[in-house]
A and B are shown apart, each in its own frame.
Chain A
Amino acid sequence: MSGTNLVDQLKAKFPDQVTGADLEAIDPWIAVRPEGLVDVCRFLKEDDQLRFDMLSCITCVDYFEPDEKKAAKVPWDPHLEVVYHLWSVPNKVSLVLKVMLPRWKDDTEGELPEVPSVAGVWRTADWHEREVYDLSGVRFTGHPDHKRILCPEDWVGHPLRKDYELPLEYHGIRGR
Chain B
Amino acid sequence: MATVEDPRIVEFDVRTDEMLINMGPQHPSTHGVLRLVLRTDGEIVSETTPHIGYLHRCAEKIGENLTPRQWVPYTDRMDYLAGMNMNLGWALAVEKLMNLQLPEKAKHLRVIIAEMGRIASHLVGMGTYGLDLGSFSPFLYAFREREKILDLFEETCGARLTYSYLTPGGATADLPAGWLAKCEAFLDGLLPVIDECHALLTNNAIFVRRTAGIGVLPPEMAIDYGCTGPVLRGSGVDQDLRRDGEEWYTHMYDGYAFEVIVEKDGQYPKDHEYPPIPEAAELGDCWHRFYVRMLEVRQAIDLVRQAIDRYSTASGSYGEPIKLSQKLPKGEAYLETEAPRGQMGFYLVSDGSSIPWRVRARSSCFCNLSVTHELCRGVLLADVAAIVGSLDIVMGEIDR
Chain A interface residues (CB < 8 Å from chain B): 25-27, 53-57, 59, 61-62, 74, 83, 85, 87, 89, 92, 94, 96, 122-124, 126-127, 131, 135, 148-152, 159-160
Contacts and interface: CB of A to CB of B under 8 A. Distances in A.
B250 to A, nearest CB: 10
B224 A94 contact: no
Contact of A56 (B96, B237, B333, B343): B343
A161 to B, nearest CB: 10
Interface in B346-393: 347, 349, 351, 357-358, 360, 362, 366-367, 370
A26 B370 contact: no
Tell me which of A56, A61, A152 has the highest count of chain B C-beta atoms within 10 A of its own C-beta. A56
Tell me which of A25, A94, A150 has the highest count of chain B C-beta atoms within 10 A of its own C-beta. A150
Given A25-B331, A150-B53, A160-B60, A124 B225 contact: yes
B246 interface: yes
Contacts of B245: 92
A62 B237 CA distance: 36
A51 B52 CA distance: 31
Contacts of A56: 226, 336, 343, 345, 362
29 contacts: A26-B97, A26-B332, A26-B333, A27-B333, A54-B223, A54-B226, A56-B336, A56-B343, A57-B334, A61-B349, A83-B347, A89-B237, A92-B239, A94-B246, A123-B221, A123-B224, A123-B225, A123-B226, A123-B370, A124-B226, A124-B370, A127-B366, A135-B60, A149-B52, A150-B53, A150-B399, A150-B400, A159-B58, A160-B60
Nearest to A148: B53
A96 B53 CA distance: 27
A150 B358 contact: no
Nearest to B97: A26
Given A57-B362, A85-B334, A159-B61, A151 B56 contact: yes
A44 B331 CA distance: 25
A56 B361 CA distance: 11
B155 interface: no
A79 to B, nearest CB: 13
Nearest to B237: A89
A1 to B, nearest CB: 16
Given A59-B358, A127-B366, A160-B60, 7 more contacts: A27-B334, A57-B360, A61-B358, A62-B358, A123-B224, A149-B52, A160-B64
Interface in B33-75: 52-53, 56, 58, 60-61, 64
B332 A25 contact: yes
B347 A57 contact: yes
Interface residues of B, number: 38
B56 A150 contact: yes
Given A122-B224, A149-B52, A150-B53, A27 B332 contact: yes
Interface string B71-100: 000000000000000000000000011000
B244 interface: yes
A70 B357 CA distance: 14
A83 B349 CA distance: 11
Tell me which of A54, A56, A159 has the highest count of chain B C-beta atoms within 10 A of its own C-beta. A54
Contacts of B336: 56, 87
Contacts of A92: 239, 244-245
B166 to A, nearest CB: 21
A57 B332 CA distance: 15
Contacts of B237: 89
Contact of B345 (A57, A126, A127, A152): A57
